[in-house]
Structure 1
């Protein structure tokens, strides 16, 4: 049985008890004392320059130079890590002048996970690993699309999610949360033309915005009107009844009820 928790006003409670709470850093352990020691020795035997290595959250983490990412993944593939499940990056341009890229690997046969990390400067190019893992194709395109990291020798390096003529890259920390000037007018300019900007207005970039006066897209409960009509402020009791359907029963009085022995 689950431990009882009071869920009243759960949405009003803070996630952290202290508003200045800082999450504890995950612990890192020595590789030599783990099941990944053989993998580390295999990496060293191939003369791979390892900047750092440790065990974190039960997985093997290796930090290498960005110029040796292809070599590192080729070695891991030979060690039985047959699945590349994810590639992504973290924007550290303001702090370090580049990106931290990671490759998440899985060995199904040996039931082990590993992560290869490297640092790519803003002006540097990263080698494609599609020749080793086919799953890297779209992941590298997404990383280029979202962060602007150029991938060398990729078979088809172009945007994956955003349009080809989109300005900047949405997952950069410097990118505006609601988009820039280009984002606000992109669909209007593309579909109707710049001359219709004043007629249509800028695109709403806030996915949580709800216009209480919008009767085209929202039905106001107990204030319903015909679609597109002017909204009403007075409250009405609107009930919907199917033709020939069972009548609404709001409250049954015990004294006036009766048991039917057969269908009427």
Structure 2
């Protein structure tokens, strides 16, 4: 018989991986008080579960059920007018869900 391979995560993977290589982590920086990002986090209030800055970009984690409410607040109160990128990360094999992310642009603060 052939060796069984699990079929729950069938996305393409590389055949060779260096077992000693560790991917570098991007540092997470706290949101500075008085910055534009601090104002955005303050507007979101309790809707933001976690917020930090990575590579000059504000990252905000929210509950999935509050997705529309947060996007409306960012548009109406914070001036984010364009969605430059929207995608999902597949966590179906581990958690049975997707992680959605949006990259929003505020033309007035750019």
TM-score between the two structures when normalised by the length of structure 1: 0.33
> Post-superposition shift, 1:74?
0.6
Partner of residue 216, structure 1: none
Query: For the Cα contact (< 8 Å) 2:52–2:59, is it kept in 1?
Result: yes
When the two chains are superposed, the root-mean-square deviation of aligned CA atoms in Å is 1.8
Partner of residue 220, structure 1: none
**Structure number, greater radius of gyration:** 1
Task: Tell me whether 1:31 sits opposite 2:31 in the alignment.
Answer: yes
Q: How does 1:172-187 map to 2 (within 5 A)?
A: none
1:56 to 50, 54, 57: 54
What secondary structure is seen at the aligned counterpart in 1 of 2:93?
A: helix
Q: How does 1:1-264 map to 2 (within 5 A)?
A: 19=18, 20-33=20-33, 35=35, 36-44=37-45, 48-78=46-76, 79-111=78-110
Instruction: For 1:77 and 1:50, locate their aligned partners in 2 and report how far apart those are by CA, in whole Å.
Output: 15
Instruction: For 1:34 and 1:27, locate their aligned partners in 2 and report how far apart those are by CA, in whole Å.
Output: 21
Instruction: For 2:30 and 2:56, locate their aligned partners in 1 and report how far apart those are by CA, in whole Å.
Output: 11
> Post-superposition shift, 1:70?
0.3
Segments of 5+ residues of structure 2 without an aligned counterpart are 1-16
Distance of aligned partners of 1:104 and 1:89 in 2 relative to their CA distance in 1, 3 Å threshold? same
What secondary structure is seen at the aligned counterpart in 2 of 1:60?
A: strand
Runs of 4+ in 1 over 6 A off after TM superposition: none
> Post-superposition shift, 1:32?
3.6
Task: Looking at secondary structure, tell me which structure has more strand per residue.
Answer: 2
Q: Deviations over 1:128-168 (max 9, x none)?
A: xxxxxxxxxxxxxxxxxxxxxxxxxxxxxxxxxxxxxxxxx
Q: Deviations over 1:3-26 (max 9, x none)?
A: xxxxxxxxxxxxxxx933222110
Q: Deviations over 1:55-79 (max 9, x none)?
A: 1111111111111000101111121
> Post-superposition shift, 1:103?
0.9
TM-score between the two structures when normalised by the length of structure 2: 0.74
Segments of 5+ residues of structure 1 without an aligned counterpart are 1-17, 112-264
Instruction: For 1:33 and 1:96, locate their aligned partners in 2 and report how far apart those are by CA, in whole Å.
Output: 35
Q: How many pairs were matched up? A: 91
